[in-house]
Amino acid sequence: MHNNSAPNLQRIRVTLDFEVDGNSFNPHQINYHSLFDINEEQEKLTVTVENLSVDVDTLWEQSYAAECKQL
């Protein structure tokens, strides 16, 4: 867990869920520090981008099939 060095800092999680045209939107091109006005010397920002369009069951089946082929 991240401990804040200054007593006035808060730890906050914001979740954004987009359904967008994948050809025109790239979340990896966004400067989140600038967007949220984060002072990198005193504040911390962690960004996690997940592609939820990928079906987890399909990934599991592909992984399992690949593992079975190796046996």
DSSP 41-69: TT---------TTS-HHHHHHHHHHHHHH
Q: Which two tokens stand for residue 1?
A: 């867990």
Residue type, 10: Q
Listed by start position, the domains of the chain span 1-71
pTM passes above 0.85: no
Q: Which two tokens stand for residue 25?
A: 């939107």
Q: Which two tokens stand for residue 52?
A: 């939820």
pLDDT tens, residue by residue, 27-69: 999 999 999 999 999 999 999 998 888 777 777 777 788 778 7
Helical spans, DSSP H, in 10-53: 32-35
Q: Is residue 5 predicted with pLDDT exceeding 90?
A: no
